[in-house]
Structure 1
Amino acid sequence: MISYHFPVFILMLLLGFAVVIPLHRKPFGKSFVVKMFSVLGLAFILAFAELLVVIYGEAYSYTFGSYQGGIGIEFLVDEFSALMTLVVITLSILILAYSVKDLEHEIASSKMYSYYTLVFLMLFSIIGMIFTNDIFNLYVFVEALSITSVAIIAIKNKKDTLMASMKYLLMGAIGSVTVLMGFALIYMVTGHLNMSLIFAEINEVWEQYPINILLAMGFILTGFGIKAAIFPLHNWLPDAHSSAPTPSSALLSGLVVKAYVFSIAKMMYRVIGQEITINIGISDYILVFAVLSMVMGSLFALSQTDIKRRLAYSSVAQIGYIFLGLGLGTELGLSAALFHVISHAFMKSALFLSAGSIIYYTGNRNVRKMDGIGYKMPITMAVFTIGVLGMIGIPGTSGFMSKWYLGLAVLDGGHPELLIVILLSSFLNALYYLPVVVSAFLRETPLEMHRSSLPQSMKISMAVVGLGSVVIGFYPSMIMNIIEAAVSTFIGI
C-alpha cells in the first residue's frame, strides 16, 4: 500500500528540495516562493494522510531495503510521530510564510537561497528524529540538526550572531559527544542499535549492568539536556534566540528544541523502559532539573529588558514543564509532557513572530518602551496577548490545558507538592509578561515607527499560529486522544 511509504516520501521531498535550492540562478523572488510552498503543501498533505492512516489503522515499523527488522534502518510510525510531523510541517509553513518579507530586512539578499536550504535540511533532520527507531540514525539526524541550527543563526553575519552561534556550536558539540558516549554504553550492554531490540534486551540484563545503564542515561540526558536548554545547561539559548533572525528564533524554540525533548522521551520510555527508568532513579533526577528550570528560567526572564531575551529565558522555564511530565514516570505524566510539546510550539512561535513584528515595525526591542503599541499594531499585540495568556495558563488557551494535564499528572504520580511549583512558575510568568500587555493597551504614548506598515503575510501567519493555540485550548481532546493512543508505544512497547 502506497501510504506505507508516506514518511519516506515526506523526507525525500524535503531533502530533494534542499538539494535543488542552491541550483537556482535567478534572483530570489515570487517564483521560488511558489515552488517552496508547493513542496511544503505536498508535504502537509502527505503528513495529514499519514496521520489518518495511523489513527484509523495501527502503528507500524518501516524497514529500508531488504533487511529484516532490527538489522537495517527502521522507522516506527505511530500516532504521536505522525501528529508531531504534521505539527512540524504546519508551523514551518506559517513561519516560512512570515519569513519571506521579514528576512528581506534581516539577512543579505544573496543569502536567501542559503537560508532556505538550511531550513529544509533542518526540517528533514527533525522529522527523521521523530520517525527513527534506531539510535545510530538518531545520532546522525541529531548532528545534521545541530549544524543547520547553528547556521541559521550565523547567517545574519553580525558580531552578536556570530558569537551566539559559536557558543551554540561549542556547547552543542559537547552535547553531541556525551550523547554518543551514552549510545556506545547502551550498545556495549545490549549489542543492538535498534530501539525495540534494545528495549527487549535491556529488560533481561539491566540488573547485571545497572551502573552502565545509569551512566549511559546520564550521558544521554546531559547531551540532550544541553541541546534542549534545560537549566543549568541553557547558557547558549538566550544569546542564540535573541540575536538570530526572527524566523530562526521561532523555528529553534518552536520545533528544534522539541525534537531533542522528544528524543529524550524515546530514550526513557522506548529504549530503557518505564520500570528501569524509575528503578535506577533517573526520574528523580529529571524532576529536580525540571523544577530548577521552571523557577530559574522565569526568574532570569524577569530581569530581561530585550523582548527576545525575555522570550528565550521563558523557553527555559517551559522546557521545565515538559521535563516535569517526563520525570513523573507515569502514562499520564508522559501524555501531559507530549501535549505541552505541541502546545508550547504554538504559543512560543506566536510570541516570537509577534515580537519580531514589533521589532520590524518599530525598531524597538525594549519591553519598557512599548507604551501604546497595541493601538498601532492591534493584530500583532492580540497575537502576543494570546501567547502571554497561554504561558500564564488562562482558560481558553493551550497553555491552560497543558498545566491542567500536568496538574492531574503530578497528583496521579504522588507529587502534590509539585503543584506549588507549577503555580509559582505561572505567577512568575504573569510578572514578566503582563506588564508588556498592560503598557501596550492601557498607556498611550506616541511611538516612532521604523517602517510605514507591516506586510500582510507576516500578519496572517502569526494570527493563524495564535489561533492554533486557542483552538487547542478549546478542543484539547483532539490532540490528547491521539497522544494517549500513542503512549502505549512508549510505555510497554
Structure 2
Amino acid sequence: MISMHLPVYLLMLLLGTALIIPLAEKLTNLEIKIYLSYSLAIASLFSVSSLVRVLQHGAYAYHFGQWHPSIGVEFLVDEFSAAMTVLVMILSTLVIVYSFRDVEHEIQPDLVSGYYVLIFLMLFSMVGMILTNDLFNLYVFMEILSLTSCGIVSIKRKKENLMASLKYLMLGTIGSVSILLGIAFLYMVTGTLNMTLNYDLIQAAWQIYPRNILVALGFILTGFGIKAAVFPLHTWLPDAHSTAPTPSSALLSGLVVKIYLFGAIKMLFRVIGMDIITQVDIPLFMTYFAMVGMIMGSVFAIGQKDIKRILAYSSVAQIGYIVLGIGLATESGLSVALFHVVTHALMKSALFLSAGAVIYQTGRRDVRELEGIGYQMPITMSVFTIGALGMIGIPGINGFMSKWYLSFAVLEAGRPLVLLVILLSSFLNAVYYLPIIISAFLREREDHKNVLIKDDLPLTMTGPMVIIAGLCILFGFFPQLVMNIIQQAMQTFM
C-alpha cells in the first residue's frame, strides 16, 4: 500500500525542499514563499494521511530495502509517532508562515534562503528522530537537529547570538557524545542497534552485564537531559531561545526540546524497559529533578525583565512537568507526559509568536514597557493571554488539562506531596504571567492614552497566532482528541 510509504515520502520532500532552496536564486521572494508554502502543505497532508492510516490499521514497522531489522534501518510508525509528526508539521507550517515577514525584520536579506534551508533540515531531522527504531539513526538525526538548531540561533550574526550559539553547541556536543557512548555500551552487550531487538535481549544482558547497562543509562539520560534542558542542565536554553529570531524561538521551545524528550522516552521504555529502570530507581531520581526544575525554572523567570527570557525560563519549568510524568513510571504518568508534550508545544509557540509580534511592531522587549499594549495590539495580546493562562492552569485551556491529568497520575502513583509542588509551580507561573497581562490591559502609558485599535501586523503573522491559540482552547475543551491517540499508543511503550 502506498500509504505505508508516506513517512518516507515526507522525509524525502523535506530534504528535497532544503536542497532546492539554494538553487532557486532566480525566483522572486514571493515565489520562494509560495514554493515553501506548497511544500509544507503537501508535507502536512502526508503526515495527516499517515496518522489516519495508523489509526485505521494499527502501528507498523517499515523496513528499508527489506533488510532484516538486525542489520537494516527500521521505522516504527505507531499512533503517537504519527500524531507527533502531524504536530511537528502543522505547528512548523504555522510558524514558517509567520516567519515570512518576521525574518525580514530580524535577519539580513542575503541570509533568508539559508535560514529556510536550516529550517527544513531541522524538520527532516525531527521527523526522522520521531519515526526511527534504530539507535544509530536516532543519533544521526539528532546530530543534524543539533547543528541546525545552533544555525537558526546564530543566523542573526549579532554578538549575543553567536555567544549563545557557541554555548549551545559546546553543551550540545557534550550531550551528543554522552548519548553516543551510551549507545555504544548497549551495543556491546546486545550486539544490535534495533530498539525492539534491544528490548528483547536486554533482560538477559542485565543478568550478565548490569554495570554496562547502568553506565549506558547514565550517559544516555545525561545526554538527553542536556539536549532537552532538564534542570540543572538547562544553562544553554535561556540565552539561545531569547536571542534567536522569534520563529526560531518558537520552534526550539515548542518542538525541538520535546523531540529530545521523546527520544529519551523511547530509550527508557522501548529499549531499556520498565523492569530495569525501576530496579535502579531511575524514576525516583527523575521525579526529584523534575520537581526542582518546576520550581526553579519559574523562580528564575520571575527575576527576568526581557519577555523572551521569561518565556525561555518558563520552558525549563514546563519541561519539569514532562519529566515528572515520565518519572512516575506508570501508564497514566507517561500518558500525561506525552499529552503535555503536545499542549506545551502549542502554548509556548503562541507565547513566543505573540511576544515576537510585540517586538516587531513596537520594538519593546522589557515587560515594564508594555503598559496599555493590549489596546495597541488586542489580537496579539489576546493570544498571549490565552497561552499565559494555559501555563498557569486556568480551566478551558489545554494547560489546565495537563495539570489536571498530572495531578490524578500523581495521586494514583501514591505521591500526594508531589501535588503540592504542582500547585506551587502553578502559583509561581501566575506570579510572572499575570503582571504582564494586567499591565497590558489595565494600565496606561504616560505618553499614550488607551485607545483600542487594530494590530498593525500582516495577516501572515496574525493568522498563525490566532490558529495556535484556537488549538489551545480546542484541546482545553476536548482533550480526548489527543489523549485517545496517546492511550492507543501506550502498548508500544509500556
- Asked if structure 2 preserves the Cα contact closer than 8 Å seen for 1:28 and 1:113, the reply is no
In the alignment, the residues of structure 2 paired with residue 237 and residue 86 of structure 1 have an alpha-carbon distance, to the nearest angstrom, of 25
Quote the residue 2:458 is aligned against.
Answer: 455
Residues 1:22 and 2:25 are matched in the alignment: no
In the alignment, the residues of structure 2 paired with residue 240 and residue 446 of structure 1 have an alpha-carbon distance, to the nearest angstrom, of 34
Quote the residue 1:477 is aligned against.
Answer: 480
Letter in 2 for 1:121: L
- Asked if structure 1 preserves the Cα contact closer than 8 Å seen for 2:380 and 2:455, the reply is no
Residues 1:466 and 2:469 are matched in the alignment: yes
In the alignment, the residues of structure 2 paired with residue 443 and residue 416 of structure 1 have an alpha-carbon distance, to the nearest angstrom, of 40
Quote the residue 1:240 is aligned against.
Answer: 240
1:409-467 deviation line (CA, Å, top 9, x unaligned): 11111111110110010000000100000010001215689x99221211111111111
- Asked if structure 2 preserves the Cα contact closer than 8 Å seen for 1:13 and 1:39, the reply is yes
In the alignment, the residues of structure 1 paired with residue 158 and residue 111 of structure 2 have an alpha-carbon distance, to the nearest angstrom, of 14
Quote the residue 2:98 is aligned against.
Answer: 98
- Asked if structure 2 preserves the Cα contact closer than 8 Å seen for 1:74 and 1:132, the reply is yes
Quote the residue 1:261 is aligned against.
Answer: 261
In the alignment, the residues of structure 2 paired with residue 368 and residue 416 of structure 1 have an alpha-carbon distance, to the nearest angstrom, of 38
Residues 1:202 and 2:202 are matched in the alignment: yes
In the alignment, the residues of structure 1 paired with residue 369 and residue 361 of structure 2 have an alpha-carbon distance, to the nearest angstrom, of 14
Structure 1 segments unaligned to the other structure (5+ residues): none
Shift of 1:42: 0.6
Aligned-pair identity in percent equals: 59
- Asked if structure 2 preserves the Cα contact closer than 8 Å seen for 1:28 and 1:112, the reply is no
In the alignment, the residues of structure 2 paired with residue 380 and residue 159 of structure 1 have an alpha-carbon distance, to the nearest angstrom, of 29
Quote the residue 1:229 is aligned against.
Answer: 229
Letter in 1 for 2:230: I
Letter in 2 for 1:288: Y
1:131-153 deviation line (CA, Å, top 9, x unaligned): 00001000000000000000001
Could you say what secondary structure the match of 1:229 adopts?
Answer: coil
- Asked if structure 2 preserves the Cα contact closer than 8 Å seen for 1:133 and 1:194, the reply is yes
Counterpart mapping for 1:65-464 below 5 A: 65-445=65-445, 453-464=456-467
In the alignment, the residues of structure 2 paired with residue 47 and residue 185 of structure 1 have an alpha-carbon distance, to the nearest angstrom, of 34
In the alignment, the residues of structure 1 paired with residue 446 and residue 203 of structure 2 have an alpha-carbon distance, to the nearest angstrom, of 66
Letter in 1 for 2:484: N
Could you say what secondary structure the match of 1:231 adopts?
Answer: coil
In the alignment, the residues of structure 2 paired with residue 236 and residue 473 of structure 1 have an alpha-carbon distance, to the nearest angstrom, of 31
In the alignment, the residues of structure 2 paired with residue 447 and residue 27 of structure 1 have an alpha-carbon distance, to the nearest angstrom, of 45
Distance 1:447 1:429, change over 3 A: farther
In the alignment, the residues of structure 2 paired with residue 69 and residue 197 of structure 1 have an alpha-carbon distance, to the nearest angstrom, of 8
Could you say what secondary structure the match of 1:65 adopts?
Answer: helix
Structure 2 segments unaligned to the other structure (5+ residues): none
Letter in 2 for 1:281: D
Could you say what secondary structure the match of 2:62 adopts?
Answer: strand
Residues 1:52 and 2:55 are matched in the alignment: no
Shift of 1:285: 1.3
1:214-248 deviation line (CA, Å, top 9, x unaligned): 21111111111111001110110000011100000
Letter in 1 for 2:462: K
Could you say what secondary structure the match of 1:130 adopts?
Answer: helix
1:108-164 deviation line (CA, Å, top 9, x unaligned): 111111000000000000000000000100000000000000000111000000000
In the alignment, the residues of structure 2 paired with residue 444 and residue 217 of structure 1 have an alpha-carbon distance, to the nearest angstrom, of 54
In the alignment, the residues of structure 2 paired with residue 443 and residue 133 of structure 1 have an alpha-carbon distance, to the nearest angstrom, of 53
Shift of 1:209: 2.3
In the alignment, the residues of structure 2 paired with residue 275 and residue 234 of structure 1 have an alpha-carbon distance, to the nearest angstrom, of 29
Shift of 1:204: 2.0
Distance 1:46 1:345, change over 3 A: same
Letter in 1 for 2:93: I
- Asked if structure 1 preserves the Cα contact closer than 8 Å seen for 2:50 and 2:82, the reply is yes
In the alignment, the residues of structure 2 paired with residue 308 and residue 438 of structure 1 have an alpha-carbon distance, to the nearest angstrom, of 18
Distance 1:314 1:447, change over 3 A: farther
In the alignment of these two chains, the number of paired residues is: 490
Letter in 2 for 1:238: P
User: For the aligned residues, what is the CA RMSD?
Assistant: 1.3
